[in-house]
Amino acid sequence: MNSEEYIEVSVKLDPFTEEMAEILTAELSDLPFDSFVTEEPFLKCYIQKDAYRPSEVKVVLSGYPAASGFTAVLVQGQNWNKVWESEFQPIVVDGVVTVKAKFNTNVPRTRFNIWIDPRMAFGTGYHHTTFMMMQRMLGLEEFIRGRSVVDMGCGTAILAILAAKMRARKVFAVDIDAVAARSAWGNCRWNRVGTRVETACGDASLLQMGTYDVLLANIHRNIILQDLPTYCRSLRRGGHMLLSGFYTKDVPAIRSAAEALGLEYVGESAREDWACVEFRK
């Protein structure tokens, strides 16, 4: 966020569940919101004043009875990046991967060091799902080296950058949000992996452009279930698929759908009810 004036849209959820907050975040992401914060029983969404259209918010929320209403208030201009920078701390995964920003100082170097320009809406590695995806990727380091990788819903491109630093031959990073795709492009070049990471704005239909040895998708469960057949077709035989962005209670449905497509279940991880599942074709 920059210093422009923003509208804070507070959506009250009744009953409140983390899952519904995640679903609405995914739905409202199609509108030009810049960031989301969950403060039970509210989902707070931030959008630039000139881009706010209450009628568009009403249309999205009309399909969700749990969204009992919303309020909108003007947030006076401030340097949002300064606020975010003051709160951002480096993330270290198993003592092997460090995710940090340019303003972080005195950070020990690890084998894989990823520098990002943090954007609140698109992922910094703090979320359990991103953390677990990186852990699983470390277990596949030998397999990833020299092979092709696709990162669906790449956000800030942390996973794509890690794959490139693991010496993947080629990485394709895709996000449906244009701002996220631009952020991914910048972060890849900042990490000097831009020649091996191609970024694009779009959905799973872009996977028709090729086939891949490793597919990474840290996205909402409904999108994964919808796009799983496309994911499977784009994965080469013997390839690995890492999926996250959903709760442990969602694993049976995702596993069933994946196995029906011929994928072999390899294993899963869990952190505070969030899950990460690995399959092989």
The structure tokens 């819903």 sit at 153
The whole-number pLDDT of residue 156 equals 87
The band of 192, judged by pLDDT with boundaries at 50, 70 and 90, is very high
3-state SS of the chain: helix, strand, coil percent to 5? 35, 35, 30
Residue 122, pLDDT score: 47
**Which one has a higher pLDDT value, 31 or 249?**
249
CA 167 to CA 4: how far, in whole Å? 40
Q: Residue 221: its pLDDT value, please?
A: 87
Per-residue pLDDT, 56: 92
Residue 183 has pLDDT above 80, yes or no: yes
Question: What's the pLDDT at 77?
Answer: 56
CATH 3.40.50.150 corresponds to the domain 127-280: yes
pLDDT of residue 112: 95
pLDDT digits (tens, 9 = 90+) for 58-95: 999 998 999 988 999 987 655 555 555 555 678 889 99
Q: What is the pLDDT of residue 153?
A: 92
CB contact burial 152-182 (16+ within 10 A = b; e otherwise): bbbbbbbbbbbbbbbebebbbbbbbbeebbe
Q: How high is the pLDDT of residue 173?
A: 96
pLDDT per residue as tens digits for the range 121-146: 445 455 788 999 999 999 999 999 99
pLDDT-derived band of residue 273, with 50, 70 and 90 as boundaries? confident
Query: What pLDDT is stored for residue 76 in this prediction?
Result: 65
DSSP state of 4: S
| Domain assignments of the chain as residue spans, ordered by start | 6-81, 127-280
pLDDT of residue 121: 42
- pLDDT beyond 50 at 120: no
pLDDT per position as a tens digit, 141-165: 999 999 999 999 998 899 999 999 9
**pLDDT value of position 22:** 81
Q: What is the pLDDT of residue 2?
A: 42
Q: Cβ of 259: how many Cβ atoms within 10 Å? A: 12
Fold of 6-81: Alpha-Beta Plaits (3.30.70)
Residue range 206-242, pLDDT digits in tens: 998 889 999 999 998 889 999 999 999 999 999 999 9
Interatomic CA distance for residues 255 and 56, integer angstroms: 35
How far apart are the C-alpha atoms of 83 and 121, rounded to whole Å?
Answer: 14
CB 132 within 8 A of CB 94: no
Give percent above pLDDT 70 in the chain. Answer: 91
Q: What is the mean pLDDT of the chain?
A: 87
pLDDT value for 89: 73
State the greatest distance between any 2 C-alpha atoms of the chain, in Å, as a whole number: 54
* DSSP character at residue 76: P
